[in-house]
Every structure is written in structure tokens, then in C-alpha cells.
Amino acid sequence: MLLDVQGLDVRYGRNHAVKSVDVTLDQGEIVTVLGANGAGKSSLLKAILGTEKSGGRVLFDGMDISNWSAPKRVRKGLVLVPEGRQIFVSLTVHENLQMGAYCRADDISRECEAIYDRFPNLAARRDMPASVLSGGEQQMLAISRALLAKPKLMMLDEPSLGLSPILVATLFDLIGELNRDGLTILLVEQNTHMALQAANRGYVLELGTVVLSGDANTLQADSRLEAAYLGGG
């Protein structure tokens, strides 16, 4: 098992955002976390990364990392592509890309060139401010930046947010390609249909609690999934 989250709790004052959540991922899986806005999905990912204070345990790649700092977790191979992409628009595309390797001391030039080969639009704008990129290009840059951290597990928080249907399809093609290359993925996504098409398994959060879990095909056919989004299930 690559990731084993046990009884994870996140609180913001009186707001109990994540309530004793258990999540597991095996090497090579795509697992999705679904739920309405405010269900606790982003808080869950941030707590796993260590940027939110939390209770419970996080075991990753055979080690208890519950008390590790976020940078130490990144060095271990746990990486988050945040909601909204969080590109540094005042920096160039290439400078943004290099930010992904901030925990590394080795040469990343070959990996950068491989990314530019994969994304010609980024290559054409490598020396331009990242502000010139479209939303889809910014998302590809955010994922590429995360790849330079050499992740064993990539967590994606609402990657399709604000993208056109054509770009969403391209994004999910990329997610599938990265997974076939061996990358394990934990995906938070509002587009339930695309997420369950891509995933092996899923969890459904409602008000910070897992109310449904199982393989993707079973979840897609379960009427309780819609109830969770409407706040009735």
C-alpha cells in the first residue's frame, strides 16, 4: 500500500472540516474523492500533504509521515497540484517549471526538455511571463511543475475547474497517460463522470465524512452519489 490515511481530522476553529476519514491507495491506482463544495475534499489533500494541521495518521510508502513537514513529504514523493493552479504569473513559464524542483539538487534539464516535448505550447512560451498562458496551458504547467518533484503520488485538486469540455478531455487523457507511466494519482474533482471514468476506486465525502466508497463502476451506478451532492444523502 502506497498511502494509508487513518482517522484524519481537520478543524478550523469550530468548523470540523474533515471527520475521522480513512483513505487508502495502492501503487499504480487512480483514486478519486468526490463531494459537493464544502465537503472537505481540499482540506483532506492539504492535510495529507502537511500544509494543514490535522489529527490522525498518514502512512506513505511504508513510513509514518504524520509529523513530517510538507517539504519533507514532497521530498519523499508526495506532491499536490493545488486548486486554481497557483501559477506565479510574474515569473516566466520556465521559472515556474523550475519551482517544482525546489527540493532537488540534481540536474533537471533533460526532464524540462521532455516536458517541453510533451507540451509544445509551453515550449513556445518558455521565456514569456506565465500570465500569457490560457487556463488549460496553466493547468499543464502546474502538472509539469509537480512532475519535476519526481512524485510517487500526485494529488490533483479540481484540475478541470474552469476548462472547456475539449480541454477537460485533453486533461483526463494526460492523467491516464501519467498513470500508465506508473504514477499513482489521488484526484479531487467536481466532474464526477470524468473522474469515475478515469479512476479505479472512489470515496464520496459529505460534510467531512466518507458516506460512500467503492470501485468506480459501482459508485457511478449508485443513486446515493447524487444525494451526497444535493446534501440529502
Per-residue pLDDT tens for 20-56?
999 999 999 999 999 998 999 999 999 999 999 999 9
Residue-averaged pLDDT of the chain = 94
CATH of domain 3-87+149-230: 3.40.50.300
**Cα separations (Å) of 112 from 29, 89, 100, 123, 148?**
25, 19, 11, 9, 8
Q: Note the pLDDT of residue 104.
A: 83
Query: What is the model's pLDDT at position 231?
Result: 54
* DSSP 8-class letter at 13: T
What is d(CA 22, CA 45) in angstroms, rounded to the nearest whole number?
12
Q: What is the pLDDT of residues 91-114, one digit of tens each?
A: 999 999 999 998 888 999 999 999
What DSSP assignment string belongs to 34-96?
Answer: E--TTSSHHHHHHHHHTSS--EEEEEETTEE-TT--HHHHHHHTEEEE-TT----TTSBHHHH
With a pLDDT cut of 70, the percent of the chain lying above it is 98
**11/53 Cα distance (integer angstroms):** 8
Confidence at 227, pLDDT banded by 50, 70, 90? confident
Q: What is the pTM of this model?
A: 0.93
E strand spans, the chain? 3-12, 15-25, 30-34, 55-60, 63-64, 78-81, 153-157, 184-188, 201-206, 209-215
pLDDT band for position 230 (cuts 50, 70, 90): low
204, 223 contact by CB (below 8 A): no
Confidence grade of residue 228 (pLDDT, cut at 50, 70, 90) = confident
Dihedral, 11, 204, 63, 144 alpha carbons, nearest 10: -100
d(CA 144, CA 134): 15
**What gap in Å lies between CA 72 and CA 217, rounded to an integer?**
36
- Retrieve residue 190's grid coordinates: 467536481
Q: Where is average pLDDT lowest: 62-71, 72-81, 86-95, 215-224?
A: 215-224
Region of 28 on the Ramachandran plot (φ > 0 left; ψ -120 to 50 alpha; else beta): left
| Dist CA 60 CA 26 (whole Å) | 10
Q: For residue 72, give the amino acid letter.
A: K
Band (pLDDT 50/70/90 cuts) for residue 221 is confident
186 and 25 in contact (C-beta within 8 Å)?
A: yes
End-to-end CA distance of the chain: 30
With cut-offs at 50, 70 and 90, classify the pLDDT of residue 233: very low
Q: How much of the chain exceeds pLDDT 90, in percent?
A: 89
Task: Read off the amino acid at residue 164.
Answer: S
